[in-house]
Amino acid sequence: MSAQDQIQKDVSENDVVLFMKGTKEMPQCGFSSRVAGVLNFMGVAYKDINVLADAEIRQGIKDFSDWPTIPQLYVKGEFVGGCDIVTEMTLSGELDQLFSDKGIEFNKEAAEQIRAANA
- pLDDT per residue as tens digits for the range 16-29: 999 999 999 999 99
Which tens digits make up the pLDDT trace of 67-100? 999 999 999 999 999 999 999 999 999 999 999 9
CATH superfamily of domain region 3-117:
Glutaredoxin (3.40.30.10)
Delimit the domains of the chain by residue range.
3-117
Q: Where are the beta strands (DSSP E) in the chain?
A: 16-20, 47-50, 72-75, 78-81
- Residue 82 CB-half CA count within 13 A: 14
Residue 14 pLDDT: 98
Largest CA distance in the chain: 46
